[in-house]
Structure formats: C-alpha cells, structure tokens
A and B are shown apart, each in its own frame.
Chain A
C-alpha cells in the first residue's frame, strides 16, 4: 500500500518533465525528421528519401558554412574560456564577502537586457559613425572614419560577450569548492604559480571548465542574432541558412535536414570534447 502510494508520487513528480520532454522536444523533432526525409518532386507532391541530406553534402556552400560555423563557435568557446577563467579565479579566490557579490553581480548586469539590445549596443560602438571610430578620430589616432562592424572579428566579440556569463558562473562554483589550504600546501612543497595552476587548480576546475565550454559552444553554434547583425557580406552562419530555407525559400524539407545536421554536429563536438578532456557528462553536469 505504502509503496503504491510512493510510486504514484514518483510518477506525478515525473509527469511535468516527461510532458515537457515529449510535447516540446521529442514530438517536434519527430515531425521535423519526417519533413526532412520528404523530397519535393512537384507542387504538393512529395516522396520519401534522403535527397535533402544528399543536397547538403553535394553542395560545397552548405558544408563549408557548416564547418565555418563549427570552427568559429569552437574559437569563441576557447576565447571565452581564456577571458572567463581569470575573472572567475579572481572572484572565487581573491575576493571575499561584499566585493565578491558585487563583482559577481557586475558580470550579470549586461544580461538584464535582452540579447537584441546588447547586440545593437555593439553596433552603435563598432559602426563607421559609431562611438569607437569617433573617439579614435577625436584623439587623432586615425585620420578618417574606420569600419569595425560587418566582419568576423565583430561576430567573435559579440559571441564572447553574449556567452561569457555562462562560462564564469560554473567556473566560480567549482573554484569556490577548492580548499585554499591545498594551494598553500602546493606552495609549501615548493611549487611555482604555474605548476600549482597546472597540477592543482585546473584539474579541480575541469568539470566547471567542461560544462562552461559545452554551454558556450551550444549557445554560439545556435546563435542567430549576433552573426546576422554584426556579420558582414561574407559572414555566413548555419542558423541563418536554416532561417533562409524555412522563410525565404519556402524549403522546409531542406531546412529540417539542416536542423538535424546541426543537432548531430553539436552532439558530436560535445562528445569529442568530453572524450579528449577525459570527463564524463554525468560528472560534469552533476558537480556544477
């Protein structure tokens, strides 16, 4: 009797998450997959087949954009880690009490406005008649207006800015859990700053690093606004391509296939990242 009741409670508690998974994630993906394997042979005539996937591999433009998106996302992730680690280390280890809270809050403040507003902010800064260009001219450092917008570097800046919080938060959490006495012991045993960082801090922070990297990589790969608004005439991004197929080309079949390929790519990169860093998904997600 008692076990029946607890089982009922278990299912009731499980129901919302199951419902969420099935209705919002699994069912749409099944639908998307069915669309992606239908080939259009004429108006309102469709056949089942893998032509849309074949089109991706036969057209260099598509897989090049795909590779470009993946490589730039990985670069953005690496940059975010390099910038985010010192910030997180400072917040977690070198500050106490109120300063710590204030610094943490300052990292979060940009996220109180929407991504669109943040991206427009960067456009105002970087454009030819923008703040940076005007300041440089005013200081006499450059002669004419300079264009900083519409290139890959601008996209990179936007991506790093958009995702740095998601790197800092897990890093602060894991670094916080590192006992200071371990670092002191390292110094007592004659370790240098570099060797302590390498032998003690980074191994301890690894789950935080990996989970931060996964989140940032996923966010960059799936980002639509930043590459579209900050990128220039050569800046193709895979999500933009999916949008084009769905909305301007009315080609839902190819767009769905692209969607699945993106899902596959992100899963593959995350899998490889975990393999190479020697972490398991459960450990990474469990600890941070």
Chain B
C-alpha cells in the first residue's frame, strides 16, 4: 500500500513535470520590450526558450492575419487595435485571467485595458508598456513649437517632419480644437473632422521636409539638425536628450496621445504556458524596471518605476507635469472601418501638391 502510494506520487510528479515542460515562446513584440538580459533570466528560471520578432502594430496584425493567428504565441499590439482586429479577422484568443497574477498589475490600468479589449464579453488584452506621442523639438532652434499646429508655423518651414499615419491626424484634430475620439462612433462626424484636418495638413505640406517612417529615421534627422521640430514618441525625444540637451520631448498643449501596448494571445498560438509564464515574469517590479530602462517607456507593473534609472525619471518629469499627465488623450478602441476613412484622407494628403 505504502509502496503504491509512493509510486503514485512519483507518477504524479512526473506528469506535472511533463505539463510544466519547457516550451519555445515565439514572441511578436516591439524593439526594446524583450531585452537580452530579461530573456536570459526568464530562460534560466523557467526552462522555456524565447524567440523574439520585433514589429509594429500594423505588421503584427498583418502577420497574424496571414496565418489566421498562427506562427506566434504572444503578441503585443496597442490596446486600441485589439477589438477591431478580432472582429474582422478573429486572430486572438481570450485571456484566462485565472492564469495571470493580477496583483502585479496597476489595477486602474488592468481594468481600463480589459474594458478596451473586450469583444463579445471576453477580455483579450493585458496592459504592459505605456507611453505617449507628442512633439520632439530642438528647443534652442524651435522653442516656440508648443502644439501640433505650431509645426505649420513659418518659423520652422522646411525643418519639420511627422509621420503620415493616424496619430498625426488625431493630434492635429485636437490641436485644432476638435475632439476626434468623441466622434469615433459617428462616421459622418468623424469624416467632417478628417476633412478639416486634411485641409490643414495639405496647407502645412510645404513646411515638411519629409514624412518619416521609422524611429531611427526621425532620430537621425533630429540629431543632424536637418529637422528641428517633429511629431514623435516620447522615448525618442528622451533618448536624443541624452546626446543633445537641446532636444527633448514636449507634451503638446492639446494633449499628448497616450497608448498602451498589451499582451494578447494569437488564436493559434501553441505555447500558452510559456506565454502566461512570460507575462507573470516580466510584470515583476524589478523585471519591469529592466524593460523600462531599455525601452524607455514605463510599464503597468506595480512599483515598476522603483528601479528605473534617475536620468530617465528626470526626463519624464521634465516633459510631463501633473497637468500634462491629466491632459493625455488615451486612444479608445478603433472601430472597424475607421481606418479605411483615415487611409483615404492620408492618401489625398500624400498626393496633394
């Protein structure tokens, strides 16, 4: 009897070992969100191996769409791009909250992301890294640029760059006193806003040196002094600030645009255990701080900012006072079909002479 008891235990523990068996986690994420040292620690602790593919919002969705949600086990799109992609392409699977250590997340962010990524009653996203986009300005040469529309000012003519993408449309709309997020649900009202922004951006076109595409491109342009005022991400501005104290991120008067990058499970991911392990691992305060130090953006981890280096904190505080933080415009979920309207507007701006 005793013997069989022990053998049962042995078999049971072997089975457990089998289920906790090491997997390969194929992670589709942004540059800087999975630093080498974090991966090494995770692999040593859990035995899983991690393969990282870096990408951006649109490419993540395009990649997952091409495989119907296969090829990756964990992806990190922004929270506003989850429900529409799920509605159109069905590329994600719901999060099993019982497998996530919710205590590691800042409760307000966890519930906000859950609300924004709920589709058909199921939650699809968990918050990870957040940040904003606003203005990155060479304050010595373009100190007057305080808002998106200031990029169209004659004083910075020919030395301006922004992306020809949706954040630009939304930033300019706010700066022109409009409220695009409130009009998300009303296609006609949103089209009216887009038309006004289109006129403004077309008029502003002679001011623009080039429309930038990638983060390195805009950093290069600012660093060389070819561009002195731009619309870009906060981290880009802070990184440049480390090299050249004149360049920094400025939270626009109309409000910086806030995004939260999330964790989502692709519909046909094979390594859910490793994915949940990774989520629970990187949300620990000390790991979150390591990620903030490489990515430059803060995380949704409780106490995640404790271990962040002092320079980065100082830059963050320099760009954001309490008023600017309260004024951040957080992206609500993008309704399906909205991007087609924006796409047509962007095309017309691009073609205008």
A-side residues, CB < 8 A to B, are: 43-44, 61, 64-65, 127-129, 147, 149-150, 228, 232-234, 236, 244, 246-252
Contacts and interface: CB of A to CB of B under 8 A. Distances in A.
A129 B225 contact: yes
B67 to A, nearest CB: 13
A65 B352 CA distance: 12
A142 to B, nearest CB: 16
Contacts of B347: 61, 244
Contact of B226 (A127, A247, A250): A127
Interface string B323-353: 0000000000000100110010001101101
B61 A150 contact: no
A249 B343 contact: yes
Contacts of B61: 250
The 5 A-B pairs at the shortest CB distance, nearest first, are namely A249-B343, A129-B224, A248-B58, A61-B351, A128-B226
A233 B213 contact: no
Contacts of A147: 209, 226
A71 B340 CA distance: 28
A199 B76 CA distance: 66
Interface in B28-61: 58-59, 61
B87 A250 contact: no
Contacts of A250: 58, 61-62, 65, 85, 88-89, 339
B161 to A, nearest CB: 9
A61 B210 contact: no
Nearest to B205: A233
Given A61-B348, A129-B225, A233-B350, A247 B88 contact: no
A236 B340 contact: no
A116 to B, nearest CB: 13
A244 B226 CA distance: 27
Interface of B is mostly: helix
A251 B208 contact: no
Contact of A247 (B59, B208, B210, B340): B59
B350 to A, nearest CB: 6
Contacts of A43: 87-88, 336
Contacts of A232: 210
B215 to A, nearest CB: 15
A232 B88 CA distance: 33
Interface in B96-148: none
A22 to B, nearest CB: 21
A249 B340 contact: yes
B210 A150 contact: yes
B181 interface: no
A234 B210 CA distance: 9
Contacts of A251: 340, 343
Contacts of B209: 147, 150, 233
A61 to B, nearest CB: 5
A150 B62 CA distance: 28
B258 interface: no
A217 to B, nearest CB: 24
A247 B224 contact: no
Contacts of A228: 213
Contacts of B226: 127-129, 147
B70 interface: no
A150 B227 CA distance: 13
